[in-house]
């Protein structure tokens, strides 16, 4: 962890996003935040106290993340979207002991969950994941009814929910999502007791008919639009701002160059600053010569290649910049050139990848 890089995570932005997203849900629809990969890089340590008061459970990717939430003292519903694989028998047992809801996505998964329940002498709670068209994890629609029957025949495995996942809910054209929805509806058991869920952020915002009785919200909760293709307008507030301090300031004469490969040539006498963040900290190398950071509210373009742990920015047009001055690497203003969404666009990727990569080396602090 690099103490000189700080991600300020805004509790009020998270509360705001949960508020505006809840407004779109009928009362009684549960809101389950997706907190995989350390809350998409925003930091579970800082977000847990904020989220745990406002939500109806948590969805995580790995068993390890699920068990970590129990260790924090969370007693409510936790859904594990992946399974314990292969020889992780002790992990499988612990999931049952700790009442983590596991995903059944195949007969093999069901068999190993059942074996764990038997070893532990407890009941495993499971949600069945149905592949309605994403072509990734999940039971094929044609095998769903049989598998539900098989689960009902087991005494130590209890089916408490059923779900699917959409491949392109964030696109303007919702036709494939609606086809997936039709497939899902066609196999949905009548039981009123089951938790039924399908919507990610994009579907939760654009397609109320996908809400059922729970939504799984990731990216929107953290304040970013899942894509440019959303139909509905929703006022989200990005919850993260990343800052560093300038560690050096120097002159480079006209015609001078900087960075690996000396790709950047300065066309005037210039002042540059060195910012101690690089691709090893999750600031993408493909932002070299493209992105800007902000210093004193003004744009400072990234000059030359981003290195592993530092980069050079042009401060010629910003008056009186000195070592130690604050550098806003990522802005929480969605319209700023250095917002997560704009950097994702420049890097040819999605906001998700930007925030996940920034998560690992940076100190997170909770503000407001």
Residue ranges in 164-203 that form contacts with ligand PLP under rule CB under 6 A:
165, 200-202
163 has catalytic annotation: no
Min dist CB 66 to ligand PLP, Å, is: 14
The alpha carbon torsion through 135, 136, 137, 143 (nearest 10 deg) reads: 10
Cβ within 8 Å of residue 113, ≥6 positions away: 83, 92, 96, 102, 104, 124, 126, 157
Distance, CA of 216 to CA of 200 (rounded, Å)? 5
Distance, CA of 200 to CA of 215 (rounded, Å)? 6
Query: Are the C-beta atoms of residues 5 and 364 closer than 8 Å to each other?
Result: no
Cβ-closest position to ligand PLP: 218
User: Binders of ligand PLP: how many residues, by CB under 6 A?
Assistant: 13
224 has catalytic annotation: no
Q: Of 84, 100, 126, 217, which one interacts with ligand PLP (CB under 6 A)?
A: 217
Q: Of 57, 63, 226, 351, which one interacts with ligand PLP (CB under 6 A)?
A: 226
Pair of tokens at residue 278: 């690089």
Q: Is 25 or 220 the residue whose CB approaches ligand PLP more closely?
A: 220
Residue ranges in 34-73 that form contacts with ligand PLP under rule CB under 6 A:
34, 36
Q: Is 230 or 292 the residue whose CB approaches ligand PLP more closely?
A: 230
| Site membership for ligand PLP, residue 236 (CB under 6 A) | no
Which region among 43-51, 210-218, 242-250, 341-349 touches ligand PLP (by CB under 6 A)? 210-218
Distance, CA of 88 to CA of 242 (rounded, Å)? 37
Min dist CB 319 to ligand PLP, Å, is: 41
Q: How many CB atoms lie within 10 A of CB 69?
A: 22
Question: How many angstroms separate the Cα of 76 from the Cα of each of 55, 92, 288?
Answer: 10, 19, 44
| Site membership for ligand PLP, residue 81 (CB under 6 A) | yes
Min dist CB 172 to ligand PLP, Å, is: 16
Q: Is 43 or 259 the residue whose CB approaches ligand PLP more closely?
A: 43
| Site membership for ligand PLP, residue 218 (CB under 6 A) | yes
H or E stretch covering 37: helix 36-40
Q: Please identify which of the residues 2, 30, 36, 245 carries the catalytic annotation.
A: 36
Find, among 117, 115, 116, 143, the residue nearest to 129 by Cα: 143
Just list the catalytic residues.
Answer: 36, 260
Per CB under 6 A, residues contacting ligand PLP are 34, 36, 81, 165, 200-202, 216-220, 226
């Amino acid at each position: 962890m690099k103490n000189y890089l700080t991600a300020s995570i805004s509790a009020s932005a998270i509360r705001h996003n949960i508020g505006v997203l809840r407004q779109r849900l009928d009362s009684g629809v549960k809101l389950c935040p997706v907190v995989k990969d350390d809350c998409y890089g925003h930091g579970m340590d800082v977000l847990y106290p904020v989220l745990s008061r406002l939500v109806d459970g948590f969805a995580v990717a790995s068993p390890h993340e699920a068990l970590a939430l129990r260790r924090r003292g969370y007693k409510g519903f936790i859904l594990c979207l992946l399974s314990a694989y292969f020889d992780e028998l002790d992990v499988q047992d612990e999931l049952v002991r700790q009442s983590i809801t596991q995903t059944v996505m195949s007969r093999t998964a069901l068999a190993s969950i059942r074996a764990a329940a038997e070893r532990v002498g407890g009941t495993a709670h499971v949600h069945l994941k149905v592949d309605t068209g994403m072509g990734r994890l999940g039971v094929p629609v044609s095998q769903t009814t049989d598998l539900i029957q098989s689960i009902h025949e087991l005494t130590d495995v209890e089916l408490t929910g059923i779900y699917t996942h959409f491949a392109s809910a964030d696109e303007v054209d919702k036709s494939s999502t609606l086809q997936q929805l039709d497939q899902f509806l066609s196999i949905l058991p009548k039981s009123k007791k089951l938790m039924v869920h399908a919507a990610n952020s994009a579907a939760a915002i654009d397609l109320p008919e996908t809400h059922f009785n729970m939504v799984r919200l990731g990216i929107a909760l953290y304040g970013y639009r899942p894509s440019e293709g959303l139909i509905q307008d929703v006022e989200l507030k990005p919850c993260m701002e990343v800052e560093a301090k300038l560690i050096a300031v120097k002159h480079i004469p006209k015609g001078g160059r900087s960075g690996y490969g000396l790709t950047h040539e300065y066309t005037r006498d210039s002042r540059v600053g060195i910012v101690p963040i690089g691709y090893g900290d999750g600031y993408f190398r493909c932002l070299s010569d493209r992105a800007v950071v902000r210093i004193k509210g003004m744009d400072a373009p990234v000059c030359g290649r981003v290195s592993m742990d530092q980069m050079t920015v042009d401060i010629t047009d910003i008056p009186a910049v000195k070592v130690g001055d604050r550098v806003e690497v990522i802005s929480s203003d969605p319209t700023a050139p250095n917002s997560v969404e704009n950097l994702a666009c420049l890097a040819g990727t999605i906001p998700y990848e930007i925030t996940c990569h920034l998560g690992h080396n940076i100190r997170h602090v909770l503000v407001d």
